[in-house]
Copies of this chain bind each other. A is one copy, B any other.
């Protein structure tokens, strides 16, 4: 197997993007024992081929299968997974394979980060969202009753294997929601990617070549940012939060009735409005581009559920809780144009409110045959 690209942290690790790669996983680890962490729906579709590939080489395979869904990112599933590894006398030189979407990647990643103070991990994402975002970068984590992703570690995988063959079984709406993170990467650094992503023919049954192309382009953006700022201590990685500040608030307010992809799509629309009002200081004539039309095309393409009618004050409560914000300042990721993101620290609240009003106005006037409406959730903190 030839790596598609490398993530240049220390040590670097390869990302493979291709078709039919799951069967080749045994080439990537010499571990005698491997533990496949997956969830029930993905396991039913893909686990057998991974297990058989390892078994055929005489490797021991342990299976840790959790229920599908966010609730599996719990201290209980984490602890159960660790106990299973211990019961099989898993060792420091054994390897964990995360086979699934973002929930599996985050949970399996934190199991790998914490078993015996850290063992090898291979991320094998099976959803567009996980390929575009979570599988690269080393963020792992679980939830507490007090909030999402409050517990975890930075733990870089040894390799990431993106088998686009797995995408053919995704429901089209999940595929589309995954596109949103790719679209964000396009807005950050690959404006040429945006048209390809908006093509209504791009979907789960597109040719493997097309899928490989868009996944690779998107991952390359993420990989470069991660290499610049592995532990999110600088500003590079903060850029990945384009659209996410409002998205996290919308997810929390609707108690995740809005999916992550849907929430980010709306968050991008708000960020586009705020960017429109707030040019980057010192930007040249013509450098400040209104990119709201791009986001409108994205929303027309994926038809996300519509967020509930919320006042700026409603949203502000959740923004204040966002852990991306250090104390006493709210930072926005804005873009002066597609491909030109920047961090704005001192946005006047009056401007934030004006952008919110414009955003709400636009949401309220969506075509009547448009998307379904999301419901308000219970008061849950998302950070």
Known contacts: A32-B327, A89-B321, A91-B323. The answer to whether A153 contacts B83 by CB under 8 A is no
**A366 within 8 Å of B (CB atoms):** no
Task: Decide if A86 touches B141 in the complex (CB within 8 Å).
Answer: no
User: How many Å from the CB of A137 to the closest CB on chain B?
Assistant: 11
Please indicate the chain B residues that have their CB under 8 angstroms from the CB of A110 in the complex.
Answer: 114
Please indicate the chain B residues that have their CB under 8 angstroms from the CB of A139 in the complex.
Answer: 117
1/0 per residue, CB under 8 A from B, across A101-127: the answer is 000000000100111111000000000
**A154 within 8 Å of B (CB atoms):** yes
**A contact residues, range:** 35 or more
Please indicate the chain B residues that have their CB under 8 angstroms from the CB of A92 in the complex.
Answer: 323, 326
A83 CA / B142 CA spacing, docked (Å): 12
**A12 within 8 Å of B (CB atoms):** no
Task: Decide if B86 touches A150 in the complex (CB within 8 Å).
Answer: yes
Partner of A153, one of B153, B321, B327: B153
Task: Decide if A327 touches B93 in the complex (CB within 8 Å).
Answer: yes
**A151 within 8 Å of B (CB atoms):** yes
Known contacts: A93-B327, A153-B153. The answer to whether A145 contacts B114 by CB under 8 A is no
**A349 within 8 Å of B (CB atoms):** no
- Secondary structure of the A contact surface, majority rule: mixed
Please indicate the chain B residues that have their CB under 8 angstroms from the CB of A150 in the complex.
Answer: 82, 86, 115-116
A321 CA / B90 CA spacing, docked (Å): 11
Interface residues of A in 138-180 (CB under 8 A from B): 139-141, 144-147, 150-154
Known contacts: A87-B146, A146-B87, A147-B86. The answer to whether A114 contacts B323 by CB under 8 A is no
Please indicate the chain B residues that have their CB under 8 angstroms from the CB of A147 in the complex.
Answer: 86
Please indicate the chain B residues that have their CB under 8 angstroms from the CB of A145 in the complex.
Answer: 83
A98 CA / B280 CA spacing, docked (Å): 44
A127 CA / B144 CA spacing, docked (Å): 33
Q: Which interface residue of A115, A139, A150 has the most chain B CB atoms within 10 A?
A: A150
Please indicate the chain B residues that have their CB under 8 angstroms from the CB of A144 in the complex.
Answer: 79, 82-83, 86
Please indicate the chain B residues that have their CB under 8 angstroms from the CB of A115 in the complex.
Answer: 150-151
Minimum CB distance partner of A33 in chain B? B327
Minimum CB distance partner of A88 in chain B? B146
**A75 within 8 Å of B (CB atoms):** yes
Interface residues of A in 220-267 (CB under 8 A from B): 231-232
User: How many Å from the CB of A150 to the closest CB on chain B?
Assistant: 5
Known contacts: A323-B91, A327-B32. The answer to whether A153 contacts B86 by CB under 8 A is no
Please indicate the chain B residues that have their CB under 8 angstroms from the CB of A83 in the complex.
Answer: 144-146
1/0 per residue, CB under 8 A from B, across A317-330: the answer is 00001010011000
Q: Which interface residue of A79, A118, A141 has the most chain B CB atoms within 10 A?
A: A79
User: How many Å from the CB of A62 to the closest CB on chain B?
Assistant: 14
Interface residues of A in 338-361 (CB under 8 A from B): none
Binding site for B on A (CB under 8 A): 32, 75, 79, 82-83, 86-87, 89, 91-93, 110, 113-118, 139-141, 144-147, 150-154, 231-232, 321, 323, 326-327
| 10 A-B contact pairs sorted by A residue (CB < 8 Å) | A79-B144, A82-B151, A83-B145, A89-B321, A92-B326, A110-B114, A114-B151, A117-B139, A117-B153, A118-B154
Known: A82-B144, A114-B152, A114-B153. 4 other contacts (CB 8 A): A79-B144, A91-B327, A115-B151, A116-B152
